Structure 1
């Protein structure tokens, strides 16, 4: 099947290809907390009737097999969620375990079944470690944005779930929360809507969206952050975010160095000069 490589171009949103790319935007690199589409990991999509083929690539030939398997499984799961898709073929390119990963994913095997000699346990424990890091990254981005808007520590710790949802959808100054933001009261989405929305998604994923008057700033286990713990907690979250952002920049640089504007190398083989 022909696989269309768009090199960063977006297909029409209402096309079947556009629907596939929307689903792929929901698949995140577990270590970086970024969509594969944003990172440039999706090499191309091919559609033939109800069969969809997705090719993806990674920054190096030696990227960890379990990480690659997580992403491949996410691709398959998200694309299969489209009602018209009957079959998904995932093709990892230019990776030292490409054949094994492709075979396992396309047969619907778990990582343990696909790699019995490598798997030391279930991937869920690893997933949870990554989810916690992603939660801290998104939370710290929200805290930094609030501080930039003039919120003080007391106001941030006093943030409630209802306030967070208003930040996601309307200017804080339009909600009666005067003194915290710098909005105009126009009711339009503020610049911080994206960070609020991403943090809300992290809360939802962990089952931490509670009553409207519940504290919005909680640790990954759901416990409210105490005032005396806030400085050290924030430093830890900031270190987590910085490490993830460094790794993201590093991976993007490796991917650009490896492929340039277009993928190269045969399936399952390193790119030339690697």
Structure 2
């Protein structure tokens, strides 16, 4: 097998310059595909989180990806989502003829890897295993954490506006076009689209997870809730990075 890319991702996020230069063609596209795969709890991609232990592409287009997580006992439902999403993303990458995506060093690795390879779904993957039975697929879980990401993203976009002098009345009247363009705003728009919430320039800046506009009276409580979600994401991300570094020395 001719390896086109076998890069380890720097803990600061992203492939370092030398590795980026080495990853060309299909290999580079596979890395970009992996950047679309998120840890649902942390709302960050598996590349930036350094959850990609290794990634290689053979000269005949077989992509081999190994994912790793901060602990041996990370929740199997989250782990399954990441492995399944990575398999889908890599499989759809132009130039990839087959995707072999696996999870390493996890108590449910065998069940997850076999289930994802067989396209068995979460319930089917867990059935009859020592991990335990799954009672439902993960669509509701995915939506729940996308809603939380929407709330956390609202905090990231709105808090700088209010620090800059915007009043609750100002914020309640704003549309998405009124907020300065930023990575946080683009991510907020993306989470809204995932939830089926309009995300055009003329749509309200602050909405609840159902898509309803948040009026000025309800805005203070809504923003406190949004802030609590973002604090939780920051704390969990810091813990996971520390655990990953201790486990793998990255």
Match of 2:66 in 1: 55
Match of 1:11 in 2: 20
1:124-178 deviations in Å (ceiling 9; x for gaps): 11111111111111111101121233222222111113334xx32xxxxxxxxxx
**Farther-moved stretch of structure 1 (123-132 vs 143-152):** 143-152
Greater RCO, 1 or 2 (C-alpha within 8 Å, sep 6+): 1
Q: Does 1:71 align with 2:82?
A: yes
Q: Does 1:90 align with 2:101?
A: yes
Gaps of 5+ in 2: 11-15
TM-score with structure 1 length normalisation? Answer: 0.81
For 2:80 and 2:199, the matched residues in 1 are separated by: 33
1:161 to 164, 173, 176: 176
1:247 to 236, 239, 243: 236
Gaps of 5+ in 1: 169-192, 262-274
Q: Does 1:235 align with 2:224?
A: yes
How do 1:132-171 residues align onto structure 2 when only pairs under 5 Å count? 132-164=147-179, 167-168=180-181
1:194-236 deviations in Å (ceiling 9; x for gaps): 2211111112212222564332211110111011111111111
TM-score with structure 2 length normalisation? Answer: 0.88
1:101 to 85, 99, 112: 112
Match of 1:40 in 2: 50
Q: Does 1:213 align with 2:205?
A: no
Q: CA RMSD in A?
A: 1.8
Taking structure 1 as reference, are residues 51 and 110 closer, same or farther at Cα in structure 2, changes over 3 Å only?
same
For 1:204 and 1:161, the matched residues in 2 are separated by: 13
How many pairs does the alignment contain? 235
- Asked if the contact 2:8/2:52 (under 8 Å) is kept, the reply is no
- Asked if the contact 1:6/1:44 (under 8 Å) is kept, the reply is yes
Taking structure 1 as reference, are residues 83 and 230 closer, same or farther at Cα in structure 2, changes over 3 Å only?
same
**Farther-moved stretch of structure 1 (155-164 vs 98-107):** 155-164
Taking structure 1 as reference, are residues 38 and 212 closer, same or farther at Cα in structure 2, changes over 3 Å only?
closer
- Asked if the contact 2:189/2:199 (under 8 Å) is kept, the reply is no
2:33 to 10, 23, 32: 23
- Asked if the contact 1:161/1:209 (under 8 Å) is kept, the reply is no
Taking structure 1 as reference, are residues 121 and 252 closer, same or farther at Cα in structure 2, changes over 3 Å only?
same
Match of 2:13 in 1: none
Q: SS at 1:39's partner residue?
A: coil
